[in-house]
A and B are shown apart, each in its own frame.
Chain A
Amino acid sequence: AQSVSQHNHHVILSEAASLELGCNYSYGGTVNLFWYVQYPGQHLQLLLKYFSGDPLVKGIKGFEAEFIKSKFSFNLRKPSVQWSDTAEYFCAVNTPGGYNKLIFGAGTRLAVHP
């Protein structure tokens, strides 16, 4: 069965620090990959997605992620975080074709201190 692992459950950073959140998935075939963000009191929002093509994808708010197929990884990065990036971040995967079921990781709670 497919699964998604997020290595860090809680991350605390100071503003302007760089961010990298790890995500690994277990599935041998073609996958679509997503990062969602959930700001306090708000709904899940899509940060970025990878379907095919350039493995380095850029999303909203300065976030980017790199798909490394050989490592089954899709890590999220941001060079300089802001206090407003405080949120919970979820990595998710689904498989093309079939029905559109998302498998989520457990999430990483990021706190950015001014």
Chain B
Amino acid sequence: ETGVTQSPTHLIKTRGQQVTLRCSSQSGHNTVSWYQQALGQGPQFIFQYYREEENGRGNFPPRFSGLQFPNYSSELNVNALELDDSALYLCASSLANEQFFGPGTRLTVL
């Protein structure tokens, strides 16, 4: 176990809805990154938060947004859900160059 937790484990939504996924980072880790892992693919970087500020962003539209809180936990929000948003969403916390991944949230969009 990495000490990174995510909730919920599974989620089913319909197109057009909004979703919030949560991540608690490993103790002492001030950086949180979010990844999307579609079926049969490697994780794709969404964005990263460092000390409550977005620190970098991948090739995802603005309807993917996030937050990091003073305790370094984080949220990923996705608005106007599309079918292609169905994926495993991974959170990873880090202090230096090594990232520690949580178990993920499986999002299904119907």
Q: Which residues of A contact B (CB under 8 A)?
A: 4, 32, 36, 42-46, 49, 51, 90, 92, 94, 96, 98-107
Contacts and interface: CB of A to CB of B under 8 A. Distances in A.
Q: How large is the interface on B (under 10, 10 to 19, 20 to 34, 35 or more residues)?
A: 20 to 34
Contacts of A104: 35, 42-44
Interface stretch (B10-18, B48-56, B63-71, B77-85): B48-56
A49 B102 contact: no
Contacts of B104: 43
Nearest to B43: A104
Interface of B: 2, 4, 31, 33, 35, 40-45, 48, 50, 55-56, 58, 90, 92, 94, 96-104
A100 B94 contact: yes
29 contacts: A4-B42, A42-B103, A43-B101, A43-B103, A43-B104, A44-B92, A45-B101, A46-B100, A92-B42, A98-B56, A99-B48, A99-B55, A99-B56, A100-B31, A100-B94, A100-B96, A100-B97, A101-B33, A101-B58, A102-B33, A102-B35, A102-B45, A102-B92, A104-B35, A104-B42, A105-B42, A106-B40, A106-B41, A107-B41
